[in-house]
Amino acid sequence: MIALISDIHGNFVALKEVLRAIDDLKIKKIYNLGDIAGYYPQVNECCEELRKRKVQSILGNHDWYMISNTLCPRSNSANDCLRYQRNIITPDNLKWIASFPVHKTIKNLEFVHGGWNNPLDEYFVPSREYFDIMPNSFFASGHTHKQMVKQFGKKVYCNPGSVGQPRDGNYKAAFAVFDGKNFELLRTDYDVDEVCRLMKRSGFSEYYYNRLKTGAEHFGV
């Protein structure tokens, strides 16, 4: 049994609860599908906890923005958060993120952050046609922050959802487990108000963190 997490985005409060839930399930092996960086203020704490646990990670688009010193082409709000994180992330944690691959295969499970045409930044709609040409049977990616499992014949796709910023109308931190044949989607509660306090203390207005309270798709909601 393994656990899949994704899109932590500097939300250490949520990450701690997800890891506690995974520990309760007696699962030792955890894979992160990208985006430790971005949005919330505890990027170093997230990196250090994952490093301590030897969690294997792949690169997400926000991780790429961080290590390449570039900005997101879609969101000024996301870029404000990235600029903040660049000022606080430690050199060791930045170097660690820079070591991530963009693709990983574990036995019959293949995963990327975005999609298989663009591992970092593809938003795709899972379909039979999309996965028919793939040689493996099981697939997982993050990026959309929307938890799902879809089966297309013998091919199965999972998005574990977002640990740090769900966008599917459920504020609870999301993750998934995989036993080699089946995915299970799981959620856990966490102290959203604490993240809001940390964001306010870091100089951000409610616009940047209100979405956490409802799992809204857009900023400022």
| pLDDT digit string, tens, across residues 85-95 | 999 999 999 99
The tokens for 81 are: 């958060």
Contact 30, 22 (CB under 8 A): yes
> In Å, how far are 22, 63, 86, 97, 127 from 185, measured between CA atoms?
12, 24, 32, 26, 19
Q: Please report the DSSP string for 186-205 in residue order.
A: EEE---HHHHHHHHHHTT--
The CA distance from 61 to 122, in Å, is 10
- pLDDT, position 42: 98
- Answer yes or no: pTM beyond 0.75: yes
In the sheet where 173-178 sits, what is the strand order? 56-57, 29-32, 2-5, 173-178, 183-188
CATH of 2-213, one of 1.10.3720.10, 3.30.1360.200, 3.60.21.10, 3.60.15.10: 3.60.21.10
Query: For residue 84, what are its two tokens?
Result: 């903040």
HEC secondary structure over 116-137: CCCCCCCCCCCCHHHHHCCCCC
State pLDDT tens for residues 19-38: 999 999 999 999 999 999 99
The string of pLDDT tens digits covering residues 128-175 is 999 999 999 999 999 999 999 999 999 999 999 999 999 999 999 999
Separation of alpha carbons 39 and 195, rounded Å: 11
